[in-house]
Structure 1
């Protein structure tokens, strides 16, 4: 495949079919568990977290593969589909455990009163409840193995969220107050990102096997000591030339045309620039093609320091 100017900036319509996408940009998104190359020490950290039933806190710059770790572990240990909770500054513990649409329930009740008064007493609370990613992760599984959960970018949370997580991570259980107060003792509740339901008894969910949890942090803040001591912590190391060559080979099947880019990438990181490994993959993917005009300009475009706009 050669570089082709799909867009030319002349306003002339040309039906164009782009070439196949890079393997890490195909949709639906495919797991990268085969391509991920764990750095030294990570395997031991994962095994410690699995053995001790503790969350694994991965720290390091963005774009170094932290979120891919859980995919590889879930695949190797046959833990099933990875549950994901993308943390923001507005995230709360409650939304991670369960979601309750109180307004939707009231609206449905009003519609029944208006159109079917005889059904006014029917209570459909289950239609307005759904377990969150953490709540689903705490459910028992048919296989008896734990579920896998990614809590991504926990350092972007409100200051109180890590402390709010402590009790649930320590006890492995939680209560849904709306169900605990409900006269029906067993109610089916929908799982996160699924059409499946599970029976919740007396409004309480308790895990049998603590889930394998990976929390990622881009080191944008510190965490309370009480939170840190409940986690197995691992900091992703700075990439070396050998490490990057392994990653490129896993994704693209060869590194011969990438040696200069890899060397430049490592040198710039050593000098304090903020770069992500996926930027390097993008650059290698494009610049290994033939007939790329002004490759220096393309390289600068794809390998811009993340700390500079």
Structure 2
């Protein structure tokens, strides 16, 4: 296991993901043909997160569990209070391992498995087909190839569906706030996580002459071929599911995930975060505010990003001093409604 750790948490991009050993036999997937991995260049979404990533030193437990998930090709369920940096783990891994844009699926109470896999627009396709038939009334009928091209323009893979394409490197998928989902979604994910594949009914019902259809993906402007309506991964994606700990999950779901409990940043980590964002002089001058914040955090639910907002307001020179202090107090209002 000389490649361990593949992910170091240092934030310096490298290609050590290629040194990952072969997956265990029960997590081997053979989707293909292999697709070239999207560019490892930092996209706009990741760039917005990099400040948080670089200002926060990864804990040893985080590094161990991330590497375990990469080695075992298992999803990583990350729990913790708001503001502990759960979702930033996905961006940190994508950045360091050069795995391309993070595929993000924000969960709501109305989210279904189908939303994550793909969406098909039958109404749009019907309208286009009617227009085409009007134009071709006096010409040769469309070929089967044209039929596949038509349906491909009205079908878009979702974040989960895109992550399961047969890329030569794993994609990073962030399933954000899974505890907000309908009670059935965790169970619905079981087979997809276990099999690493899914079927697109609208494509599998096409005539046998149409073997492959190019469909739109969750990557803006990108398309990918799907053969006979079946998508199977080649490199199982690095999946991060975040949870605020607001619900319990079925044992069968938990069995298929590795679990990481994110702790609130320590005082030393908070000082490091402030120093990275505002410089060491501001961080040093904010020591009293840090102590007040830590005392407040001991008895109420407040997050580090609230402190960052308060420090910014205090140092930006905006407004009268007393009015700014009032705003800062409002910014640091506990999330659970408990007064200071």
TM-score range, shorter chain: 0.7 to 0.9
Match of 1:276 among 281, 303, 313: 303
Picking from 155, 175, 186, the partner of 1:129 is 155
1: CA distance, partners of 2:235 / 2:46: 30
Alpha-carbon deviations, 1:161-211, whole Å to 9, x = none?
000001011111111111111111111111113212111111101111110
- Tell me, which stretches of 5 or more residues in structure 1 are unaligned? 1-25
- Equivalent pair of 1:130/1:189 in contact (CA under 8 Å): yes
- 2:185 is aligned with 1:167: no
Are the equivalent residues in 2 in contact too, given 1:240–1:266 (CA < 8 A)?
A: no
Summarize the alignment of residues 98-247 of structure 1 with structure 2, pairs less than 5 Å apart: 98-117=118-137, 118=139, 121=142, 122-123=146-147, 124-141=150-167, 144-183=168-207, 184-247=210-273
| Aligned residue pairs, count | 281
Secondary structure of the residue that 2:286 maps to in structure 1?
A: helix
Going from structure 1 to structure 2, the CA distance change for 1:129 and 1:27 (only over 3 Å counts) comes to closer
Contact 2:46 2:91 in 1 (8 A): no
Change (3 A) 1:257 1:120: farther
How much does 1:220 deviate?
1.8
| Residues 165 and 233, structure 2, Cα contact 8 Å, conserved in 1 | yes
Q: Aligned partners of 1:258, 1:140: CA distance in 2, in Å?
A: 49
Return the offset for 1:120.
Answer: 6.3
Does the CA-based 8 Å contact 1:87-1:157 persist in structure 2?
yes
Aligned to 1:258: 286
Matched, 1:306 2:335: yes
Change (3 A) 1:80 1:39: same
1:38, distance to aligned residue in structure 2 (A): 2.2
Deviation for aligned residue 1:100: 0.6
Alpha-carbon deviations, 1:230-260, whole Å to 9, x = none? 1111111133211211221222222112212
Deviation at 1:62, TM superposition (A): 1.5
Match of 1:66 in 2: 86
1:30 is matched with: 48
Mapped partners of 2:92, 2:189: distance in 1: 25
SS at match of 1:198: strand
In structure 2, what is the equivalent of residue 78 of structure 1?
98
When residues 35 and 140 of structure 1 are mapped into structure 2, their CA distance, relative to the original with a 3 A threshold, is farther
Which residue of the other structure, out of 56, 62, 73, is the alignment partner of 1:53? Answer: 73
1:145 is paired with a residue whose SS is coil
Structure 2: which 5+ runs fail to align?
Answer: 1-43
Q: CA RMSD in A?
A: 2.1
- 2:314–2:325: 8 Å Cα contact kept in structure 1? no
Q: TM-score, normalised by structure 2?
A: 0.78
Rounded to whole Å, the distance in 1 between the matches of 2:45 and 2:294 is 30
How far does residue 289 in structure 1 lie from its aligned partner after superposition? 4.2
What CA distance in whole angstroms lies between the structure 1 residues aligned with 2:196 and 2:170? 12
The runs of 4+ residues in structure 1 deviating greater than 6 Å are none
What displacement does 1:138 show?
1.0
SS of the counterpart of 1:30?
helix
> Shift of the alpha carbon at 1:229?
1.4
**Aligned: 1:297 with 2:321:** no
- Give the deviation of 1:40 after TM superposition: 4.5
Shift of 1:27: 8.9
CA contact (8 A) 1:140 1:208 kept: yes
Q: Check conservation: 2:176, 2:243, Cα contact below 8 A.
A: yes
Aligned to 1:12: none
State the alpha-carbon separation in 2 of the partners of residues 75 and 96 from structure 1: 23
